[in-house]
Structure 1
Amino acid sequence: MTWPFYLALRQLFPKGRVFPFFTVISVLGVALGVALLIVSTSVMGGFGHQIRQMIVDTQGEVQLRAYGLLQDPEAVLAQVEAVPGVVAATPFAEGVAMLEFARKPVFPAIQGIDLERAEAVVPLRRFVRAGSLDALDDDGVILSAPLAESLGIRLGSRVDLYSPLLLERLKGEELPMPRELEVVGIFEIGHQQLDNALALVTLRTMQELYGLGEAVHGINVKLAAGSDPDAVASRINARLADEALPVRARSWLDANEDFLFVLQLEKNMIFFLLTFIIVVSAFSVASSLLIAVVRKTREIGLLGALGARPWAVAACFCFQGFFIGLVGTGCGLGLGLTFLHFRNDVVRVFTELTGSEEVLARFYQFSQLPAHTARADLLLIIASAIVISTLAGLLPAWRAARLRPVEALRAE
Structure 2
Amino acid sequence: MPWYLYLALKQLFPTGRFFSFFAFISSVGVMLGVAVLFGVQSVMNGFGAEINEKLVKTFGHVRVDSGRINYEADALVEKLEAIPEATAVNKFAEGMVLLQYGNRPTFPVIRGIDVNAEEQVIPVDDFTLHADLEDLDDETIFIGTGVAMQLDIAVGDTVEVYSPLLLDRLKQDEVMLPRELEVAGLFETGYAKIDSNTVVVTLRLMQELYGLGEGVHGVMLNLDDENKAEEIAAQLNEELEEPFRAMTWLDANQDMLFILQFEKGMMTLIMVFIILVASFSIVSSLLTSVLRKTREIGLLGAMGGSPKHMGLMFAFQGFLIGCVGSVLGICLSMVILYFRDDIIGTFTRITGSEAIMIKFYQFARFPVQYQLSDMFTVVGIAIFISTLAGLLPAWRAARLKPSDALRNE
TM-score bucket (shorter structure): over 0.9
% same residue: 48
Deviating more after overlay: 139-148 vs 300-309: 300-309
Aligned residue in 2 for 1:92: 92
Matched, 1:293 2:290: yes
Query: What is the CA-CA distance between 1:298 and the residue it aligns to?
Result: 1.6
Q: How far apart in 1 are the matches of 2:404 and 2:52? A: 64
Which among 392, 395, 405 is matched to residue 398 of structure 1? 395
Q: How far apart in 1 are the matches of 2:77 and 2:306? A: 75
Pairs within 5 Å for 1:4-403: 4-117=4-117, 119-225=119-225, 227-240=227-240, 244=241, 246-403=243-400
Q: How far apart in 2 are the matches of 1:118 and 1:99? A: 30
Deviating more after overlay: 319-328 vs 346-355: 346-355
Query: What is the CA-CA distance between 1:86 and the residue it aligns to?
Result: 3.1
Q: How far apart in 2 are the matches of 1:227 and 1:146? A: 31
Counterpart of 2:132 in structure 1: which amino acid? S
Q: Deviations over 1:297-327 (max 9, x none)?
A: 1221222222222222211111111110001
Counterpart of 1:120 in structure 2: which amino acid? Q
Answer yes or no: is the 8 Å Cα contact 2:12–2:19 preserved in 1: no
Q: Show structure 1 runs of 4+ deviating over 6 A.
A: none
Which segments of 5 or more consecutive residues in structure 1 lack a partner in the other structure? none
Residue 349 of structure 1 aligns to a residue in which SS?
helix
Q: Deviations over 1:35-61 (max 9, x none)?
A: 111122222222222222211110012
Residue 212 of structure 1 aligns to a residue in which SS?
coil
Residue 227 of structure 2 aligns to a residue in which SS?
coil
TM-score, with length taken from structure 2 = 0.95
Residue 181 of structure 1 aligns to a residue in which SS?
strand
Q: How far apart in 1 are the matches of 2:400 and 2:62? A: 66
Query: What is the CA-CA distance between 1:191 and the residue it aligns to?
Result: 2.2
Query: What is the CA-CA distance between 1:245 and the residue it aligns to?
Result: 5.4
Q: Deviations over 1:234-271 (max 9, x none)?
A: 0111122xxx3531011222222222212211111111
Residue 10 of structure 2 aligns to a residue in which SS?
helix
Query: What is the CA-CA distance between 1:226 and the residue it aligns to?
Result: 5.6
CA, structure 1 residues 145+46, in 2 after alignment: closer, same or farther (shift >3 Å)? same
Q: How far apart in 1 are the matches of 2:256 and 2:146? A: 25
Answer yes or no: is the 8 Å Cα contact 1:301–1:408 preserved in 2: yes
Query: What is the CA-CA distance between 1:194 and the residue it aligns to?
Result: 1.5
Query: What is the CA-CA distance between 1:201 and the residue it aligns to?
Result: 0.4
Q: How far apart in 1 are the matches of 2:297 and 2:282? A: 19
Q: Deviations over 1:146-199 (max 9, x none)?
A: 222332322222222221112222233333233222211101122222111311
Query: What is the CA-CA distance between 1:119 and the residue it aligns to?
Result: 5.0
Residue 212 of structure 2 aligns to a residue in which SS?
coil
Answer yes or no: is the 8 Å Cα contact 1:83–1:235 preserved in 2: no
TM-score, with length taken from structure 1 = 0.94
Counterpart of 1:261 in structure 2: which amino acid? F
Answer yes or no: is the 8 Å Cα contact 1:113–1:202 preserved in 2: yes
Deviating more after overlay: 365-374 vs 400-409: 365-374
CA, structure 1 residues 12+195, in 2 after alignment: closer, same or farther (shift >3 Å)? same
Query: What is the CA-CA distance between 1:359 and the residue it aligns to?
Result: 2.3
Query: What is the CA-CA distance between 1:29 and the residue it aligns to?
Result: 0.3
Query: What is the CA-CA distance between 1:118 and the residue it aligns to?
Result: 8.1
Q: How far apart in 2 are the matches of 1:245 and 1:202? A: 28
Q: How far apart in 2 are the matches of 1:171 and 1:294? A: 90
Residue 5 of structure 2 aligns to a residue in which SS?
helix
